Structure 1
Amino acid sequence: MTDSGEADVSAPKSEIVRSLASGLDVLEAFTPAEPRLTLAEVARKSAMSRATARRMLLTLVERGYAYTDGRTFELTPRVLSLGHGYWSGRSWHELLQPSLRDVSARLNESCSAAILTGDDVMYVSRVHTRSIMRIDLGLGTRLPAFATSMGRVLLSDLPDAELLPRLQEMSRSAFTSHTRTDPQALLETIRAARNDGCALVDQELEMGLRSAGVPVRDDRGKIVLAINTSMAAGVESLEETKKRVIPALKDCASQVETMVRSLGKDLDSLASASR
């Protein structure tokens, strides 16, 4: 620690707790492909002596993080609680920031995440690179779902029998000359988003603005979140935009799904809590 009470991240190796490092090495030796290991296998994979590996494994067993039948060892579900106290209280914004930063850097575009609330999408996380829209998009900002890529992705989870009446009843103002406002045309567009697993919106919300969105699903397959990126329209064709950004957005969505499930979070409950 420094005099100011801050941690010195450049601490010498002599201050590293070797036993803690060894314990972490043992935990990392277990993988989905090799969930059950012998003492010799753990020692080999962790690059440590059998005596050290044995002490680490017995400590994990005693603390309930591992189980042994006398010959092999395997981790117990209790390992999922490591760090859970910190992450379980994180908001959507905090949880999504690392993934959004990665995809934003990959695309060199602003990226956002939103949930569906009523007839609007509400922004719950955002990584900003440069200003394209006239309005400032911050956490809690709401935009009409029918005219946004994230909104169309989120609406695509509704069955047609529910979707069409909802489109007919919601306010559908024309923001530009490109805005689709006809309920039947919107239904076809949202159906296409459902089939494609993505939505592109070109200058329907604001002239000069194009956006692309993809869904994030919970473990039941329900869409509870959408991720998008926005860029200037006209720089490339719609097909070029789709080829450039959709794979990256889908990779990001997959990371988010895996991350949230590994933390034991219920995506639908987290989305509801953000409303």
Structure 2
Amino acid sequence: MLTIARACRAVLSAGEPRTKVRLARETARRWRRGELAHLFDVAMPDAPARPDRPELLPPNRMPKRGRGGSERGRVALLHALAHIEFSAIDLAFDCAGRFGAEFPRAFVDDWISVGVDEAMHFAILDRRLRTLGSFYGQLPAHAGLWEAAEATANDSLGRLAVVPMVLEARGLDVTPDTVARFRTAGDEPSARILHRIYTDEIRHVGFGVKWFGQRCAESGVEPAPLWREKVRRYFRGVLKPPFNDSARSQAGLTREFYEVIAC
């Protein structure tokens, strides 16, 4: 029987977007059906495969996107979001395949479900780009999204602290304003897509909070101070308000975590 680790590695090793999406969906389906053994017999790759396009640039070379008022600006923003979701597929399957042996089986359940969500998000964003005369890969994209995974490759709590509880939580902060701007511009189809992604991301952040908290409870450690320690160690950016306290609270990420270290 194929193992969940090998299935996750296959997703990470697929560079072509349609293949990655197909393998993500197939892995989730086979996991739900009990067709993948809960075994971790192979290591995850140091970095995922990437398609030839988009061109990946460091943050200081990325072109300015503006605020999405024009169609060109909205296309650029949707492209950037598609790249984030494409990278998020790998982050989720890497989390399941790399750290699944440290946690109960339900940990894999959760992160495989996140991975298939991210595959769906990418697919609908790419479809929307094509409707607008573009496609994923047409514009350059941020090269640094895998840095958080590299930094936390040997620390499951560090990974949970930074990826869902910082990076995805930041999406909760900024997405409502983006949805409103798309609606103001008359782009309701894109606004609906972004709102769907937003509601899914609350659940994803919640998985990070849940598993971080469970491990802390097992060790008798207070989660908020340990989270701040992990963020200071592994996260290169800064936590800047405004925060969407309501959405964060829905995910279990209360202000006691982030308010103390916000800039």
Give the TM-score category using the shorter length: under 0.3
Look at both structures and tell me which one has the larger radius of gyration over its CA atoms.
1
- TM-score, length of structure 1 as denominator length: 0.25
Decide which structure has greater helix share: 2
Q: Which one has more relative contact order, counting CA pairs under 8 Å at least 6 apart?
A: 2
Decide which structure has greater strand share: 1
